[in-house]
Amino acid sequence: MNEVPPHRLDVALIHYPVNNRGGEVIGSAVTNLDLHDIARAGRTYGVDACWIVTPYDDQQRLAEEIVRHWTEGYGGTVNPDRREALSRVRICPDLEGVLAAMTAKWGIRPRVLATCAQPRPRTENYSAVRTRLAGGEPLLLLFGTAWGLTADVVDGADGVLPPIMGRGGFNHLSVRSAVAIILDRLLGE
């Protein structure tokens, strides 16, 4: 298998704090599909780590059990590619912990870029972000579950990526799809 060299790029799937459809701050549930698909997209594009961010002990245990099945258990023996992808998943209770771990890993705090389905101030175009990655700058991309990242999380980021806009007025992709599209825009050939 051809090795894709990792970039100094991590992605974080935020389960808290996120919004529900009414705009209230909630915590969302970890899903098996998100872990698998985001880890596989991350491995495909050379992402160094895929963070699952949830403060809930039961959700952390669920994520750990899923990852363990595919990295140490029977799933990893029958599907080595999935084992390789899921081995990049890290679980952390909060964004501050992710930033601390990345700072320790890279020796510098990463630039944090949020994603959002709607246009926001401080948007950075994909070309500029590709240049940052090519220059070796460590970056963390934040993706929200449920109805997206809270305003506090988006406002606390260093910048925001442009929203993915399809045709027409419908704009509600799964987070798995959004991660794959954005990684391809940043790292695809």
pLDDT along the chain (189 residues), means of 10: 72 98 97 96 96 98 97 91 95 98 97 93 95 96 97 97 88 92 95
Residue 71: inside a domain: yes
Cα–Cα distance between 170 and 148 in angstroms, integer?
A: 16
pLDDT at 122: 92
Residue 1: inside a domain: no
pLDDT at 14: 98
If you ran DSSP here, which 8-state letter would residue 14 be given? Answer: E
pLDDT at 168: 82
Among positive and negative, which fits the CA dihedral 116, 121, 124, 125? positive
pLDDT at 123: 95
pLDDT at 13: 98
Residue 93: inside a domain: yes
Residue 3: inside a domain: no
Whole-prediction pTM: 0.95
Residue 62 domain boundaries: 9-187
13: nearest Cα among 51, 39, 45, 44: 51
Check which CATH number belongs to the domain holding 55 and give it: 3.40.1280.10
Residue 130: inside a domain: yes
Residue 4: inside a domain: no
If one counts the domains in the chain, the total is 1
Backbone angles phi and psi of 127, in degrees to 5: -60, -45
Backbone angles phi and psi of 29, in degrees to 5: -85, 145
pLDDT at 2: 54
Cα–Cα distance between 114 and 157 in angstroms, integer?
A: 6
